[in-house]
Amino acid sequence: MNDTTRTALKAAAVSLLILTMALLGYTLWARGKVVESGTAMGIVIALVVFAAFALRNVAKSARQGLPLEDEFTKRAKASAASFAFYASLYLWLALMYFEDYLPEHRLPGLAILGSALIFGLRYLYLVKRGRVD
């Protein structure tokens, strides 16, 4: 599978996910569940920002004739994933500490959203910095 096909499939999957989350947020808002719809919309906004950043980098690399994923990108993703995993352990500890103040059914969702945000922010930091230690 060439880079163009792979990029188009990724863009289609992300677009479908964003559309689904936006529809979920609207449905929750229409039912009067404002907090839940805000969470869904927060996820949509985070996905859109991260997808726009990723697509911009893909387009820039394609114009320069670079491969879709180079060694730096692979190392940055691996480093961000490792950091997100360890930071998520502490996030779980914090969520367990505050579990009396949060509804039980929200804890896994908050932990997953927090892990995704940690990964995305760490990846952006590494790419902006330009090196992985």
Three-state SS annotation for 24-38: HHHHHHHCCCHHHHH
Residue, of 107 and 71, whose pLDDT is higher? 71
- Asked if residue 83 and residue 106 are part of one domain, the reply reads yes
Provide mean pLDDT across the span 118-133: 88
- Asked if residue 75 and residue 38 are part of one domain, the reply reads no
At 1, the pLDDT band (50, 70, 90 cuts) reads low
Provide mean pLDDT across the span 54-80: 82
pLDDT at 15 over 70: yes
**What total of structural domains would you count in the chain?**
2
- Asked if residue 74 and residue 64 are part of one domain, the reply reads no
At 82, the pLDDT band (50, 70, 90 cuts) reads very high
The pLDDT value recorded for residue 29 is 77
> In residues, how long is the chain?
133
Neighbour-count burial of 31, counting CB atoms closer than 10 A to its CB (0-12 exposed, 13-18 middle, 19+ buried) = exposed
For residue 29, CA distances in Å to 26, 39, 78, 108 come to: 5, 11, 37, 21
List the domain range (segments joined by +) for residue 65: 1-69
- Asked if residue 61 and residue 93 are part of one domain, the reply reads no
Q: What percent of the chain has pLDDT over 70?
A: 98
- Residue 46: name the closest of 121, 129, 123 by CA: 121
